[in-house]
Amino acid sequence: MNQDIRLCFIGDSFVNGTGDETALGWAGRLAVAANAGGRQVTYYNLGIRRNTSSDIVQRWEGECALRLPAACDGRVVLSCGVNDTVLENGALRVPVAQSCQNVQEILRKASNYQVIMVGPPPVDEEAQNLRICALSQAYAELAQGLGVPFIELYSQLVADPLYRSEVASNDGAHPRSSGYRAMAEIIGTSPHWWFPWS
């Protein structure tokens, strides 16, 4: 009898896979790889476009409770932050301190599941990238303090010319399929990821 492993991927448009013509994104690719490696998983993509950490903190718990009953091996992957760093009317959509407080609340409450956090990726705007980089570092420190594995995307992707060019030629924020494949490979080959990556 196969173990009932269920994964909830919680986050924003990057979790959703927006821009990926295959409709897999990085979350779908990780689930495909897990199943191909013999680990049968059920995955739920709970990414919503334009969601900030303030949006996610309001919804994630109920969404996961419906999908991760006590009898299953329930696991949570949280990824957010890019939308928090967007400037609207001259101000951040979510101030850094509030963003960190939101993530801390989610990670603390998610401790009854196996949980991993994935950092935010870069976009095609240098000023925003500086904010994304700083927020990613803050998230990493926060996760470390809570004992939650953190998989950083920013530094590898910002230095990847193929990723950067794909984002620039798309909508300036999201990659296409090859970019999401690169994201999935970074996560899947991390020592923190649960399943072998082939």
Instruction: Say what the pLDDT of residue 198 is.
Output: 74
Which strand (E) or helix (H) includes residue 92?
A: strand 91-92
Rounded Cα distance, 188 and 195, in Å: 7
The set of residues, in sequence order, having a beta carbon less than 8 Å from that of 182 and lying 6+ positions away, is: 157, 160, 162, 163, 175
107-162, pLDDT tens digit by residue?
999 999 999 999 999 999 999 999 999 999 999 999 999 999 999 999 999 999 99
The set of residues, in sequence order, having a beta carbon less than 8 Å from that of 165 and lying 6+ positions away, is: none
Q: How many CB atoms lie within 10 A of CB 58?
A: 11
96-106, pLDDT tens digit by residue?
999 999 999 99
On whether the CB atoms of residues 78 and 118 are closer than 8 A, the answer is: yes
On whether the CB atoms of residues 81 and 139 are closer than 8 A, the answer is: yes
136-151, pLDDT tens digit by residue?
999 999 999 999 999 9
On whether the CB atoms of residues 21 and 56 are closer than 8 A, the answer is: no
pTM greater than the 0.95 cutoff: yes
pLDDT-above-90 percentage for the chain:
97
3-state secondary structure of 177: helix
Sheet architecture: strand order including 41-47: 41-47, 5-11, 73-79, 114-118, 150-151
